[in-house]
Structure 1
């Protein structure tokens, strides 16, 4: 019986979507602009990387072809192979928004038809009654922040005051999120998680997609660092996903990274959450090695987004892509006859774009495995085509409104 491995390269978009202008993202292109920067030397960093974007394995599977099909432009400095060795195409998001839950849910067969709630005011972002509820229900002396901010910057700015006062740092962005940063030792990690669970219930009526715990450590003297103990508290998908279908049929499921958080831990099977892209790929391969026939492994690699996209770090993003590319042969070697692997993304986060937020983009779709035909996938009118296709592959029938390959 077939198995399926689905890897989401968080934020690795491949060109602005047709409706990107409505999100302020017309002209964004995560992979295209990274390649351009690398070709021009702006992707160089001493001791890290230099030269044109070097992704020989992903290009061999069709990534450069997918990018060019999406934008109509070749990737700068890249010589794409004449005949890709995988099935390649790109997906168009039909869900509203450009955040992680909508992208992942649609990939899993559940496009988002409702409008997310947002905190649009740049300052004093949260309604007064919500702030009062957070303070009361969380037994807090108050909150800090209450504005749109970069997580790294606002922690650097307010961490010392947070330690002194015991007030957590609350902030948001253009995405449907409320993020709470607190020191793991001075505030307490378990206390932070409990606070986020409380706030999750308070923002449910506002249709806020995620409450995110952002723990950090450090001191004013030595500086502060976010840790790998981030936890997302998301609303559950409103309809069936491929995970639900598989769980109902008692199929083996392994989820790696923040997949469990994104799907509110519903039908997410055995959850594995190491820290860092390399560790997550290693954990996925170890789980895959023991995954029975008919099993499904769903992986999110978040570093592209959190460590490099939001921080607008072009050399770091390019180096992370190249590091993942070196792992692709290990993924291919782990596939046996009947298996399929799909590499895709959930949105963009163009590190050359103004601001620090996600960008509304198409996403690449690469499918490969022993005996997989090398015909193009073309333009897919919904990310949900992935769930429909994997459902057919796994013998459970198409899931969601997508069209299977």
Structure 2
């Protein structure tokens, strides 16, 4: 074993150019990083030092850099994370522009709430449009909406309906949408409050995800710390400790705190703001500034790493903020690997999402199950 601790950080939606099959998804030409960089001047010295720009133009950098391609027939959060940990989703989850009447009727009968909205929308916009109805009905009517992802989202004013009731409604929706004809990847509770006439989403969001279809790499590891949405994404399976993050900045600070902790295993972090706040809202400058904030904290992370630590920076899909619509984009993702003991400086040919999990298993001396995809990134063990 070369590394005692592996820190894998997922910059949620940070694609690095169209995948080979992007045209099948209507995403030919998408490039999250490339288009942000073309739009604005970015100060991200640490990402560049680790080889991000080397994925576009040959240049010197530290560590190992390569692109990864997704094998599964999707471009969503669950399938992306599961594939990073070895499990491919061949049949995509259901995606709806609006949910069938039969589903809404079943949900209303099971929860004793009426639902309005039922369309693909921005969470902030639909609150501004319909939030007053929830208030006027004292929470008996709730906003239900979706997005271009496989999700069913339910809003609730936590000072009127209360978090416990909102979570109950969402858990009921999760049970109902396990039926094949309605099966979505996640049901999401979206609590909010009203301050000075403004609808403000709180950090009490809760995701109810489908459990992985097979055991993932996490189920085989000696110890896994999940930060951000990781525990939700894997339905708690294979997670030893879990820490909720209120923002991507908070998630990075939690990750940096884990560098002070003694453990042997994986620290797995999801930074969701890139996707939720900026990619889906098509906010190029917001995305760029989030990258700059991340880069500062990445610098702190690099300074605190021990000799036998390994850092893997990657993503789960793309979400080009310059692209049409609000959907994720089918892109390759970066894989930047660094350790203080790693003297090699290589840009490798394209690999697969599963290479991340395969590398982690190999490092801890665990035989990879035959159903998992991926090959270890051998160069990080050559030092």
Pairwise TM-score range, normalised by the shorter structure: over 0.9
- The answer as to whether partners of 1:4 and 1:394 remain within 8 angstroms in 2 is no
CA drift of 1:11 comes to 0.7
Structure 2, unpaired ranges of 5+: 378-383
- 8 Å CA contact 2:54–2:60 kept in 1: the answer is no
Tell me the SS of whatever aligns to 1:326: helix
For residues 315 and 54 of structure 2, the distance between their equivalents in structure 1, rounded to whole angstroms, comes to: 16
Q: Distance in 1 between matches of 2:347 and 2:373?
A: 17
How far apart, CA to CA, are the structure 2 residues paired with 1:162 and 1:20? 40
Q: Aligned partners of 2:156 and 2:15: how far apart in 1?
A: 31
TM-score between both structures, scaled by the size of structure 2: 0.93
Q: Which residue of 2 aligns with 1:296?
A: 266
- C-alpha change, 1:379 and 1:137, in structure 2 (3 Å) is farther
8 A contact 2:60–2:345 mirrored in 1: no
Aligned-residue offset at 1:379 = 3.4
Q: How do 1:200-211 residues align onto structure 2 when only pairs under 5 Å count?
A: 200-205=174-179, 206-211=182-187
CA offsets 1:85-111 (integer angstroms, 9 cap, x no match): 121001001112111001100111111
Distance 1:236 1:280 in 2: 23
Match of 1:326 in 2: 296
Matches within 5 A, 1:229-268: 229-246=204-221, 251-268=222-239
Superposed CA deviations along residues 345-400 of structure 1, whole A, max 9, x for unmatched, are 11111111111221111101000012224243523442001100111122223462
How many Å apart are 1:15 and its aligned residue?
A: 0.7
Q: Larger deviation: 5-14 or 265-274?
A: 265-274
**In the alignment, what sits opposite 1:95?**
72
Confirm whether residue 360 of structure 1 aligns to residue 330 of structure 2. yes
Could you list the runs of 5+ residues in structure 1 that have no partner in the other structure? 39-51, 69-73, 75-79
User: Where does 1:368-379 land on structure 2 (aligned, <5 Å)?
Assistant: 368-376=338-346, 378-379=348-349
In 2, distance between residues paired with 1:392 and 1:339? 15
Distance in 2 (CA, whole Å) between partners of 1:28 and 1:397 is 36
Please say which of residues 378-387 and 25-34 is displaced more in the overlay: 378-387
Structure 1 SS opposite 2:75: coil
SS of the residue 1:304 aligns to: helix
CA distance in 2 between counterparts of 1:210 and 1:53 reads 33
**C-alpha contact 1:339 1:370 (8 A) present in aligned 2:** yes
Say whether 1:137 aligns with 2:110: yes
Report the Cα offset of residue 162 of structure 1. 1.6
- 1:176 corresponds in structure 2 to 150
Contact 2:358/2:373 (8 A) holds in 1? yes
TM-score normalised by length of structure 1: 0.88
Rounded Cα–Cα distance in structure 2 between residues aligned with 1:264 and 1:218: 31
State which of 278, 287, 301 in structure 1 corresponds to 2:258.
Answer: 287
Structure 1 runs of 4+ with >6 Å offset: none
Q: In the aligned structure 2, how far is the partner of 1:316 from the partner of 1:117?
A: 29
Asked if 2 retains the 8 angstrom alpha-carbon contact of 1:106 and 1:112, the reply is yes
Aligned partner of 2:381 in structure 1 is none
Answering whether residue 58 of structure 2 is matched by residue 63 of structure 1, we say no
In the TM superposition, what are the counterparts of 1:89-128 in structure 2 within 5 Å? Answer: 89-119=66-96, 122=97, 125-128=98-101
More displaced 10-residue stretch of structure 1: 349-358 or 99-108: 349-358
Q: Distance in 2 between matches of 1:110 and 1:94?
A: 10
Shift of 1:330: 1.6
The equivalent of 1:147 in structure 2 is 119
